[in-house]
Amino acid sequence: MKREYFRDKCGVFGIYNNNESANLTYLGLHALQHRGQESAGIVSAENDKFYSHVAMGQVIDIFTEERISKLLGNMAIGHVRYSTTGDSHLLNAQPFLVNYFRGKLAIAHNGNLVNYEMLKNRLEEEGSIFQTTMDSEVIVHLIAKSQHSDIVARIKEALFLVEGAFSILIMTENKIIGARDPFGFRPLNIGILNDSYVLASETCAFDLIGAKYVREVKPAEIVILDRNGISYDTIPSINRKNSFCVFEHIYFARPDSILFNKTVYSFRKRLGHLLAQEEPVEADIVVPVPDSGVAASIGYSEFSGIPYETALIRNHYVGRTFIEPKQSIRHFGVKLKLNAIKEVLEGKRVVLVDDSIVRGTTSRKIVKMVKEAGAKEVHMRISSPTTNYPCFYGIDTPTRSELIASSHTIEEIKRYITADSLAYLSLESLKKALSSDHSDYCYACFNGDYPIKFPWMDTRLNDTMFK
């Protein structure tokens, strides 16, 4: 039987003690929209009553003024989600609201539980009935089965039993509880807005609502927001090594966020500096692949002295569906999102900077687009090492056989994408950019050194179950 593991890249937001909780959660989710565009939801609570609206689509389209006005209460949690193919339907949208014999709770989860299947099978054998294919639902069943009377103790026991990545918000009738896994894979932050406390995946959400950034939630830390203010607890665990996701810094987080105590924009510029130092080339202009290559391109330009130019314009209004013309148009999918400025590119030797190459198909189309716009040469520079292995902890990456760098040399990739030269940032330079705390990061997508081992991994990496 083919196993299915759903790797979600998501964003979570929660606010306690604010009469405009739903409005502010809507704004927070809007700031986190880059973390997931497939579905979004908000659950609020007032006087032991829960109010929920969850739908497929983007935040701005889902939440009208009328819908927000029906989400009553002084506390709320929200979620934006992007999932892998095959798991795209409303049943799996979050926050997930449940009734159980001790009351109600809502859950919003960013990350991936690697022992989900084992726990699910055990719980089903004991009589639990699952309503979704979300790994997050396992946590709900574990909370329900706990013998502790205190909700925080129940949550602690549940989170002790799960393995993998989770930055999670759980709302009861009178509390919001946030927690981060003992490895710290995915981010979670604490903010304050007047007398209200806020929890969010990224600090850019605090900026939009005017909240003050306090600090990160620590790995294995539990944060409790209730009428007594803010308090803390810890998930019992064996001593775990910090394994912050380095790809959050390279690509996933918004450049205006503070992530793992580093400003994302400055870090990406630093990657560009190191890339220019490590992989120089004679050229006329440096051009980013927007938006992911912008900061690294600026850094490359600053260090190399080669002028920076915006020569690829991104269309930010591409929806989830579109009508493709019956008449064939070359590179239609890329042209829908990007367009080249011929005046800037014509006759130029171009350094084209991006954050990563995954399958290589998009890079190939972009290089060809730049050449068709008149570029004399195109030199591709990537501000991260080669992506050789899939992620199992909450970033959606293909199976290993689909990752071009896992089976092709850099020279072969260069020929495939039709670039005149191709170079990646080394893993050593990436660690240099992270400075003294580089040992606190997970590099599994680059070197295959997974912090959490699990039984099916070797088979999964060989793709025997997932073709």
Please give the residue range of the domain that contains residue 353: 263-316+332-461
Q: 157 with 195, same domain? A: yes
Residue 64: DSSP 8-state: -
Q: 202 with 292, same domain? A: no
Alpha-carbon span 367 to 451, nearest angstrom: 35
Query: Locate tokens 């019992």: which residue?
Result: 236
Which domain CATH number covers 270? Answer: 3.40.50.2020
Does 10 participate in catalysis according to the annotation?
A: yes
**257 is a domain residue:** no
Alpha-carbon span 83 to 265, nearest angstrom: 26
pLDDT digits (tens, 9 = 90+) for 105-156: 999 999 999 888 889 989 988 888 888 888 889 999 999 999 999 999 999 9
Cα separations in angstroms, 152 against 224, 241, 373, 390: 8, 24, 59, 34
pLDDT digits (tens, 9 = 90+) for 177-195: 999 999 999 999 999 999 9
Question: Hey, what are 331's tokens?
Answer: 């590179």
Nearest alpha carbon to residue 54 among 72, 69, 31, 71: 71
Q: 76 with 200, same domain? A: yes
Q: How many CB atoms lie within 10 A of CB 327?
A: 6
Alpha-carbon span 305 to 98, nearest angstrom: 57
Indicate whether 315 pLDDT > 90: no
Distance between alpha carbon 302 and the CA centroid of its chain, in Å? 28
The per-residue pLDDT for 458 is: 45
Q: Which of 10, 245, 391, 445 is catalytic?
A: 10
**324 is a domain residue:** no
Q: 235 with 275, same domain? A: no
Q: 158 with 198, same domain? A: yes
Q: 85 with 194, same domain? A: yes
Indicate whether 413 pLDDT > 90: yes
Q: How many domains does the chain have?
A: 2
- Range name among 102-106, 275-279, 286-290 with the lowest pLDDT average: 102-106
